[in-house]
Structure 1
Amino acid sequence: MSTDRPINQYAHDGQQRLLKLITLLAGHEITGLAPAEIAREQACNASMVTRDLANLQLGGYAELVPETGRWRLSPQIVQIALKHMHALDRAQHRLGEVRSRYSRMA
């Protein structure tokens, strides 16, 4: 990617809406959100919400709460976060090993 062009030239409304939807669903893992609530919060129409939720579901990022017809994030989001934390823990451990090697007195 060239550094002389502004990053927002690559922005895509649909993709940005999906990312905002993931953030919107966060914190509603028990009860979920109704499509009408999502449409209101996202300031978009119902067909956009339906399409966005279907894409998140296909990607494994959202799921329908069967008892209520509301939507929530899937466990995959937490699994991604756990992988991230695990990678940070490994990096911290490795850094500690290197620090220990360099700080030993000969």
Structure 2
Amino acid sequence: MRAAKAAGPARKTDYTNAAQQRLLQVVLALFGDTVQGMAPIVLARGVGCSAAVITRDLDNLRSAGLAERDEITGLWRLTPRLPQQAVKVFSSIERAQRQVDEARNRFTRNPN
């Protein structure tokens, strides 16, 4: 399955790799249920690949510390590693917003 290319100027070399694109799709799909997890067959259908391919992808994500399998249910979910990065993004945005608010207050308060 080939992912759609981003709009922009044409490149002389196409570095797009189908397996890497699929793995990214699996990661994004796993964000869909970070509590219960997802069945491999559901992930395979969602990404458009076979059960064998999704098994390899999930094993690679486990090796990278990004996904884990619930041994009781057999469902796969993200480890806290990526969601923690999302929290960092929101914290950074909040810090930037505070800086903008402080600057706005400096320029809009009434001088004495």
TM-score with structure 2 length normalisation? 0.75
Aligned length: 104
Deviating beyond 4 angstroms after TM superposition, the runs of 4 or more aligned structure 1 residues are: none
Q: State yes or no: 1:48 paired with 2:73.
A: no
Deviation (angstroms), 1:5: 2.7
Aligned partner of 1:73 in structure 2 is 78
Q: Looking at both structures, which has the greater relative contact order when contacts are Cα pairs under 8 Å and sequence separation is at least 6?
A: 1
Aligned partner of 1:95 in structure 2 is 100
* Structure 1 unmatched ranges of 5 or more: none
Opposite residue 94 of structure 1, the aligned amino acid is Q
Opposite residue 70 of structure 2, the aligned amino acid is V
Q: State yes or no: 1:17 paired with 2:22.
A: yes
Percentage identity across paired residues of the two chains: 39
- C-alpha root-mean-square deviation of aligned residues, in Å? 2.4
Higher fraction of helix: 1
Aligned partner of 2:33 in structure 1 is 28
* Structure 2 unmatched ranges of 5 or more: 1-7
Deviation (angstroms), 1:54: 1.7
Name the CA distance, whole Å, in 1 between partners of 2:81 and 2:54.
Answer: 20
